[in-house]
């Protein structure tokens, strides 16, 4: 259930960042790709590798996979929830940055000289 909530969050944030970036004159596709990448990496990839490390550690330490303790499942659930929360925070920070309208900077700092008529 949490997995579906996380994926829906990634899709919604990505669409919102795309629309917001388009409205503020930023590179919409780039910001949307960054948002989706942050959401996927924090929510799916990092917990996956943490689970592999825990599984290898437990397998090598105890010599097998029989009798995996209950704390491994509890720990993996906590990592999954933390991943969803952290990915939402990361995507929120991106959309907050994209919502800022970029300042218009002038190419010259001085006033141009007045015209000269003969």
Residues 103-118 have pLDDT tens digits of 776 666 677 778 888 7
Q: CB within 8 A of 57, min separation 6: which ones?
A: none
Q: What is the 3-state secondary structure (H, E, C) of 49-108?
A: HHHHHHHHHHHHHHCCCCCCCHHHHHHHHHHHHHHHHHHHHHHHHHHHHHHCCCCCCCCC
SS3 17: helix
Tell me the average pLDDT of the chain.
86
pLDDT digits (tens, 9 = 90+) for 59-80: 788 766 666 677 778 888 899 8
Question: Contact, 31 vs 17, CB < 8 A?
Answer: yes
pTM of the model: 0.76
């Amino acid at each position: 259930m949490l997995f579906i909530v996380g994926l829906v969050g990634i899709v919604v944030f990505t669409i919102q960042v795309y629309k917001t970036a388009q409205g503020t004159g930023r590179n919409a596709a780039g910001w949307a790709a960054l948002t989706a990448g942050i959401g996927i990496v924090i929510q799916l990839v990092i917990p996956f590798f943490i689970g592999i490390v825990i599984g290898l550690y437990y397998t090598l330490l105890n010599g097998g996979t029989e009798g995996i303790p209950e704390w491994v499942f509890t720990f993996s659930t906590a990592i999954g929830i933390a991943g969803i929360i952290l990915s939402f925070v990361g995507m929120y920070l991106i959309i907050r940055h994209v919502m800022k309208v970029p300042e218009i900077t002038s190419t010259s700092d001085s006033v141009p000289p007045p015209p000269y008529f003969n």
